[in-house]
Each structure stands twice: as structure tokens, then as C-alpha cells.
Structure 1
Amino acid sequence: MNPWADPRWPETVRREVVRHLESCYPLEGCGVILHAPSESSWRVCPLRNASPRPALAYAFAPEEWLAVCLQADSRGEQLMGVFHSHVDGPPTFSAEDRSLAAPAGHPLLPGVSYLIASVHRGCVSWVSEYGWTNGDFQTRRV
């Protein structure tokens, strides 16, 4: 069964995200999803988790994040999603996730979806999507 069947995201994107997050277990995996509207193309960019506590949190490796941003800009791609996993836990937007994504109550990446996958025993069991609405991150529904 596909744990993430939201038709708003192309099947290839969903597959690549799930594959990356499962391969990172028992550590949290992370990355971004880019879209080039002019070409109708999508790109999943896994990023190294540089958190000092990678089993409990994620942080993009700064040099990789910068390289992806520069490359996306040169290709005319838009950042559509940030994804990461929660190891053996629910796919909820944690207080730490919130503080990193919206320091001082302002989102760093407005309009971007945050996808959180629950990975149990190396398998994604559920993916939840969040977006900034009315001053906080709220679950997005299909």
C-alpha cells in the first residue's frame, strides 16, 4: 500500500521521497522538492542531515542547501516542498520543526509545503503535509 497517495504530487516524486527517507532509517532523512513550471518537470533533492542529533532532528547541510538553491535559481525551479522523517514516531509538526521553520513566528519559506513521514522499522507508514495558514503550520488536506 502506498502511504502517500496525494495526487497533487507526481508519483515519481512520492516514490523518490519515500525511498530516500526509508534509506536513512534509523536516522531522520531530509530534502526538498523543486518544480520547473515552464517545463512541467519535478526534481527531488535529498540532502544530508547535518543535525547533531540526527536520530531526533534534521538540519540541511548548509553547503548542500546553498548548492541546491543556486542550481534551482539557474534552472528556473520553484521550491515546492521540504520533507523529512520522524523515526518511529508520528508525522506531526513538532515544536522543534516549528521553531526551525518559523523562527520568531514568521515562516522562512512561505507558501512551501512541509512533508513529514513517519518511518517505522525502515518503512514509511504515513506522510502528513503541512502549510503555513493563519499564523501557524496546519495540516493540508487533499
Structure 2
Amino acid sequence: MMLRLPKACLEQTLAHLRAALPHEGLGLWVGRAGRVVEFWPLQNIHPRPRERYEADPQSLVEAVRRIEQMGLELVAIVHAHPNGPAAPSETDRSQAFWRVPYVIFDMKTEQFRAFWLPQGEEVPVGLEAL
């Protein structure tokens, strides 16, 4: 599987993650068959948001319902590491629940990588002009 990401969705994602600094920002990439069509930001409600992320459960359930109602899919879960790296932490691995790629941004460099978690297998991401 390869994720296909339009540059506009990347910019929306980065804008949200930058605005969340110094906290870990998060959100969802929504689309079909591995192609992202929208970024949906979520609020980090973790008590230690500089070190961890947690989506509000009610907001997450509502987002998943909306995704299904729109005939779309949850393509990936996105979050930022404010001080890097763009690699899963042990916490990221141990708390991985969803069977979608997890995309991690290193906010020092704004580089990102996607992984199947908890196993840690990297998922390629291709940028598209649209």
C-alpha cells in the first residue's frame, strides 16, 4: 500500500501541526483507497500534550461516523513530535489501535513518515500536485 497525498492536504496538515506547537498536534487523513482527499484536525486533550497525544473520544467517534456517512475512509492518523523524530515512540507503538497507517511529523524539520503500528513497517507516501 502507498499513501497518495495532495500537496494542499500536506499544507493543511502542517498549518494545524504548527499552530499546535509546542504541543503534539493531531488529525485524520480522510479519503479512499489510500488517496487522501481531506485533512481533519483534532484537538489534543492529553494531560501532557507536549509529550503525548490523545483525541477527544467523542470527537473521534463523530469524525468516524461522518467519514462513513460521506462514503469515505479513514486513510491515516496523523500526529506530530514537536522535537522529532519522525519515527514511532514506544508509546505510539503500544497505543496503536486503528488498522490504518500512523503518520508522524518531526516538527523541527517538518519531515514525515508513515508506519503500520505496532509492527513499525514503513508505508510509502507519494506527494501529488492536486
Return the TM-score normalized by structure 1.
0.78
Of 82, 89, 98, 1:109 maps to: 98
- 1:34 pairs with 2:34: no
Kindly, what percent of the aligned residue pairs are identical? 25
Whether the 8 Å contact between 2:30 and 2:37 is mirrored in structure 1 is yes
Higher relative CO (Cα under 8 Å, sequence separation at least 6) belongs to 2
Q: How many Å separate the matches in 1 of 2:48 and 2:82?
A: 12
Shift of 1:140: 2.3
Of 46, 53, 77, 2:48 maps to: 53
SS at the partner of 2:60?
helix
- Aligned partner of 1:3 in structure 2 is none
Q: How many Å separate the matches in 1 of 2:98 and 2:92?
A: 13
CA RMSD in angstroms comes to 2.1
- 1:119 pairs with 2:107: yes
Query: What is the 5 A alignment of 1:1-142?
Result: 8-36=4-32, 42-101=37-96, 108-110=97-99, 112-120=100-108, 124-132=109-117, 136-141=119-124
Higher-Rg member (1/2): 1
Q: How many Å separate the matches in 2 of 1:92 and 1:46?
A: 20
Return the TM-score normalized by structure 2.
0.84
Whether the 8 Å contact between 1:36 and 1:75 is mirrored in structure 2 is no
User: What amino acid maps onto 2:13 in structure 1?
Assistant: V
- Displacement over 6 Å in runs of 4+: none
Alignment gaps of 5+ in structure 1:
1-5, 102-107
Shift of 1:125: 2.6
